[in-house]
Chains A and B, each alone.
Chain A
Amino acid sequence: MNTAIIYRLLSMVLLALSGAFGLCVLVGRIAGESFADRSLQAFAATIGVSLVLALLFHWRGRSGSAKLFRREALCAIGLSWFVATLVGAIPYVLTVEHCDLADAIFESSSGLTTTGATAFKDFADFPKSLLFWRSLSQWVGGLGVVVFFVAILSSLGAGAKILFSNESSGASSDFEQGRVQKGALSLLLYYLGISFACLLAYKLGGMDWFQAINHAMTTVATGGFSTQAGSFEEFNSPALEWIAIVFMILSATTFVYMIRLLKGRREILRQNNEVYWFYALLVGATALLTLYLIELRGEWPNHELLRLAAFQATSILTTTGYASADFDSWLPPAKMLLIILMFIGGCSGSTAGGVKMVRVVIALRAVGRSIVHSFRPQITVPMRLGGRVLSERAIQSVMIFLLLMIALQIFAMLFVSANEPDISFLAVFSCVQSTLFNIGPGFDAVGPTENFHFLRSSTKLFLTLLMTLGRLELYAVLVLFAPSVWKRYA
C-alpha cells in the first residue's frame, strides 16, 4: 500500500484542523477571554499538538507517489476521522475540570459526525471558545473532513473522486462539472451560502450573534449541538423554530439537486427523485404526530401542536436532534414513529445521517419487485430513480448495506446492554440507534433532556466507534479492520 499519500493527507487534515482551532481562539478573544484563561491555553496547546503531528506526518509522507487507489482512499478517510476525533478531544480534556477522557472523545466524535449527543451535563457553562469549537466541529464534519481538500487540491487527480464518493453519501457522478474539484467547490459554496442565510435568519429571529452563529453551523450540518442546555425549548420562540425547520429540511435535501434548481434547471423537477419521497414522508409524519399530540393533550388542533410535531419530525428525520419538547413523554405510537424516522434519515448527498431516503426507497421497490417476481418470474422490471436506471449491482449493494446496518445495530445493542446492565431495553436500543444513525437524542435514559454522561467509559468509546461507522457509511471504517488491507500481497 502507498502509505506516503495517506500520511500526506493526514498531515493536511491536521493542518486544517489547527486552522479551525485558531478560529476558536479568535472567537474566544472577541468574547473577552484572555490568553491567561484555561480555555485559550488549551487551544494553544491543541494547535501545537496538531502542528507537530502534521509536520511529523508530512515528513513521513515526503516521498512516494501521489497515486491514490481505492484502498488508500478508504484508509485515508477512516484514519483522518479517527485522528480528527482524537485531536478534537484535546480542548475538552484541557479546559473542562475533572474531565473524563472518554467523555471528551465522545463529545469530539459526536461533533465531527454531526450526531449531537452530549456527554457533558453542564456544557452551557463552557467558555465561549469551547462552545464555538463544539459547533464548528459539526459544521466541518457536516460536509466531511476530507471533502474540503478534494475541492482545493487538484494534485489528487482522479483519486479525489474516490475520496469524495467514500466520504460523502452522494456520488461524484451527480456533478455536472467534469472535474470533481469544481463539483466539490460548488457544494462548498452552497454550504457556505445556506450557512450564512441561516445565520442571518436566526439573528433576525431574535438570537444574539453568538447563538446565531453556533446554531447556524449546527443546523446546516444537521448536527444538533446547542449552546443552551434546553436546546430550542429554551428560546420559546415559534419564529426561531420555523426558521430551524426550514433550514434543517434544506440541509437534508440533496445538495446537488438544490444547486441544479438554483441554476434554473426545471426539468429535474419532473424526475422521480428521493427528494419527493423525503418531503412526502416529512409531511405524513408531521400529520401523524399532530394527531398523536391532539390525543395526548386533549386539545383542539392548533398552531402550537402543529409546530411541535413539525419541529420534532424534521429534527429527527433530518437527524439533527434539536428538541423543542420532551418527546420522551409522548404517546408510544409517536415514539414508534420517531424511531422509524431515525432509521431512515435524510437524502443522500446532504449533511443528514441515517441510512438515507434513497436506500429505503430502492429497498422497498426491490421488495415489491420480488413479490411480483414470485408469481411472474419471467417479467423484466427495470428500476428507475432520479431519471436513470439502476443496475442490479447497485440494488444489491443497497440491500447489503441495509442488512449490515441492522446487523450492526443488533450486535451493538448486545454489547451495550451487557456493558450497562442497569438501563432499560429502550434506552439501550435508542442510544445505539441515535449514535449509529448520527441523530443525538434517544429515549428513556438518553432522552432529549438527558445526556450520555452516566454511561461507562468503555460504552462511550464503543458508541464513538458507532458514530464514525454511521457517518462514513461503514466501509471506510470497516476496511481498517480488514487484515488484508495492511498486508503486502493478499
Chain B
Amino acid sequence: MKIIIVGAGEVGHNLTSMLASSGHDVTLIEQSASLCERLDEEHNARIVTGNGSSARQLVDVDVAECDAFLAMTSDDRTNVISCSLAKGLGAKNTIARIHDATYSDNSVINYQLHFGIDLLVNPEAICAVELAKTIRNAGRVAVENFARGQIEVQQLQVDDSSRLIGKQLRDLKLSAQVRIGYIQRKGQGEVASAESQLQAGDRVTLFGKPEELFELRERFNPDQKVELARVVLFGGSETAISLIRLLSSPRFKVRVIEKDLEKCRELAESFPQISVIHGDATSLRLLEEEQIGEADYFVACTKDDEENILTCLQAAKLGADHVQLVINKGDYDQLLGILKTMLGIEVVVSPRSATAEFMRRTLSSESVIQLAELPEGGRILEVRISHASPVVGAKVKDITLPRNSLFVALQHKFKAKVPTAEDTILAGDRVIVLVHADQEAALLKRLV
C-alpha cells in the first residue's frame, strides 16, 4: 500500500516506522531539514523535506497514486488543508489528526464532507478513552472498546437479587443502545438469542454505549451502590481535556493540576464542574495540600514523560489508589513493562501507540479482524463489508445469521451504533459480530 504521511512529530514518526516495517511504501513529508536528515537513516521510507500543505509538494510525491494520506502534524489547520488538497488531487483515503473539537462538530457544516476528509482521528482522545475505560468501570473485568470508544464491551455478573432472572431476553425491555451478547454459565459459553434466559451467577457480556451500560449495572446487581470516584489529573493537555469530557458524569469528582495560569483559566471556564488548581504537581507540598492520598485515581497526562512518571510514583507513595500515566515518547516503549510490574502503575497509554494500533486496524486490507476472544469459544470479529458481499443492501432483520452468532455493532462512515432490525447494511460498512468458534466459518460465508 502506498502511504503518505505529513508531519514527523512523535505520532507521524512512529506511524512511519510502524507502517514501513510492516512492508508499506511510505513517504514522509516534514518541514524541518535537520529532522529529515536524522529520520532518513532510521526508517525504510522516503523522507521528503517540504510543506505538506502545498499542492506542488503533494504532486511531487505522487499523491494521486497513494492509497492513504495521513496528515499527522500537531496543527489542526495544516492537517485539514493537507487532507483537503490531497483528496482534491486524487488520494483515495485521507485521514487528518485533529485536537480541537471544532472540526468534529457537524451542527453547522459537515467539516469532513466539506474538506473531503475521510476520517478524523484524535490520538489524544483515543488515549483518553483508554484512560477512562478503567475509571468508568471500576472493578469490571475485560473492558474493550470498539469504534473509537463509541461502543464498549463489558462483562457483568448476574446477582441473586436481580429482577432479570428467569425472563427471556426479548421480554427484558432493554434500551436499543445496548445488547446482551454472550452468556457464560458453568463453564459453557453461548451466544445470546431472543429466547435465552438469565440465571443467577451468569456472566454476561454486554455491548453498547458506555453510559447506557453503566445504567444497566443496577439492574444486574441492585445492591451495588454508585460510588463517587475522585480523579486527579496532572496537566491540562489535550488528553486531559478529552478525559474530562468523558468523565462528565456527576459521579466523578475531577480535579486538574496545571502549571500554566492561562490554561487553568481556560479549563475552568469551559468545564465549570471541575476544580482547577494552578500549581506544579512535582511539588510534594502541593500534592499533600490537595490530599492526593485520598484520590481514587491519579492520572498524569502532561507532555513531559519524565514528570509524568515521577509524579505518578509520588502519588502512589502518598496513597492514591490507582495511578495511570501517559507516555509520549516511543523511545520509552521498552520500559512500559517495568513501570507496570515494578512500580505499580496500572495503566500506561501513549498517543503514539494508540494511533498506530488504530491505523493498523483502519488500513488493514483484511476483511475480517478478530478484535477479542471471550472465554469458552466466543469471538468478536470485525467484518468489512465489500461490494461483493451478499448482504449489501439488505436490512438487518432480513439477514439470517447462523445459530450462535449475533450482530453487536454496525459502523457506518465512522459512526458506530448497535444495529436495530431496520438498519440497512451498505458496502464499506464494518459490522462487529459475536460468534461462537464452531460457527465462525458459516458466518463468514454469509457475510463475505
Q: State whether A182 and B25 are in contact (beta carbons under 8 Å apart), knowing that A158-B43, A173-B46 are contacts in the complex.
A: yes
Interface 0/1 of A147-188, CB less than 8 Å to B: 000000010011011100000000011011111111000000
Contacts of B23 in A (CB 8 A): 154, 179
B62 lies within 8 A of A179 (CB): no
CB distance from B56 to the nearest CB of A (A): 11
Decide if B47 is an interface residue (CB 8 Å cutoff): yes
Interface residue count for B (Cβ, 8 Å)?
Answer: 19
A70 lies within 8 A of B21 (CB): no
Q: Is the interface of B mostly helix, strand, loop or mixed?
A: mixed
What is the chain A residue whose CB lies nearest that of B66? A178
Give B5-40 interface residues, CB cut-off 8 Å to A.
20-21, 23-27, 33, 40
Give A59-96 interface residues, CB cut-off 8 Å to B.
70
CB distance from A72 to the nearest CB of B (A): 12
Counting residue pairs across A and B whose Cβ atoms lie within 8 Å, the total is: 45
B44 lies within 8 A of A180 (CB): yes
> Can you report 13 residue pairs joining A to B where beta carbons are below 8 Å apart?
A154-B23, A158-B43, A162-B41, A172-B40, A173-B47, A175-B46, A176-B62, A178-B20, A179-B20, A179-B25, A179-B26, A179-B44, A391-B33
What is the chain A residue whose CB lies nearest that of B5? A178
CB distance from B114 to the nearest CB of A (A): 30
Contacts of B24 in A (CB 8 A): 178
CB distance from A266 to the nearest CB of B (A): 13
Give A452-481 interface residues, CB cut-off 8 Å to B.
none
What is the chain A residue whose CB lies nearest that of B25? A178
Top 5 nearest A-B pairs (CB, nearest first) are: A178-B25, A158-B44, A178-B26, A178-B46, A178-B45
Q: State whether A157 and B21 are in contact (beta carbons under 8 Å apart), knowing that A162-B41, A176-B46, A178-B46 are contacts in the complex.
A: yes
Give the distance in Å from the alpha carbon of A177 to the alpha carbon of B44 in the complex. Answer: 10
Give the distance in Å from the alpha carbon of A173 to the alpha carbon of B38 in the complex. Answer: 13
B41 lies within 8 A of A161 (CB): yes
Contacts of A181 in B (CB 8 A): 44
B25 lies within 8 A of A177 (CB): yes
Decide if B42 is an interface residue (CB 8 Å cutoff): yes
Interface residues of A (CB under 8 A from B): 70, 154, 157-158, 160-162, 172-173, 175-182, 391
The residue among A158, A175, A178, A181 with the most chain B CB atoms within 10 A of its own CB is: A178
Q: Is the interface of A mostly helix, strand, loop or mixed?
A: helix
What is the chain A residue whose CB lies nearest that of B39? A158
Contacts of A157 in B (CB 8 A): 20-21, 44
What is the chain A residue whose CB lies nearest that of B40? A173
Give the distance in Å from the alpha carbon of A179 to the alpha carbon of B45 in the complex. Answer: 5
The residue among B21, B25, B62 with the most chain A CB atoms within 10 A of its own CB is: B25
Contacts of A161 in B (CB 8 A): 40-41, 44
Contacts of A180 in B (CB 8 A): 44
Contacts of B40 in A (CB 8 A): 161, 172-173
Decide if B2 is an interface residue (CB 8 Å cutoff): yes
CB distance from A393 to the nearest CB of B (A): 9
What is the chain B residue whose CB lies nearest that of A73? B41
CB distance from B20 to the nearest CB of A (A): 7
B41 lies within 8 A of A70 (CB): yes
The residue among A154, A161, A182, A391 with the most chain B CB atoms within 10 A of its own CB is: A161
Give the distance in Å from the alpha carbon of A173 to the alpha carbon of B62 in the complex. Answer: 15
Give the distance in Å from the alpha carbon of A217 to the alpha carbon of B42 in the complex. Answer: 35
Contacts of A154 in B (CB 8 A): 23
What is the chain A residue whose CB lies nearest that of B61? A176
Contacts of B26 in A (CB 8 A): 178-179
CB distance from B35 to the nearest CB of A (A): 13
Give the distance in Å from the alpha carbon of A157 to the alpha carbon of B19 in the complex. Answer: 12
Q: State whether A178 and B27 are in contact (beta carbons under 8 Å apart), knowing that A158-B41, A158-B44, A173-B47 are contacts in the complex.
A: yes
Give the distance in Å from the alpha carbon of A17 to the alpha carbon of B3 in the complex. Answer: 36
The residue among A160, A177, A179, A180 with the most chain B CB atoms within 10 A of its own CB is: A179
CB distance from B55 to the nearest CB of A (A): 14
Contacts of A179 in B (CB 8 A): 20, 23, 25-26, 44-45
Contacts A161-B44, A179-B23 known; list 7 others, CB within 8 Å: A154-B23, A173-B46, A175-B46, A179-B25, A179-B44, A182-B25, A391-B33
What is the chain B residue whose CB lies nearest that of A387? B60
Contacts of B21 in A (CB 8 A): 157
CB distance from A140 to the nearest CB of B (A): 24
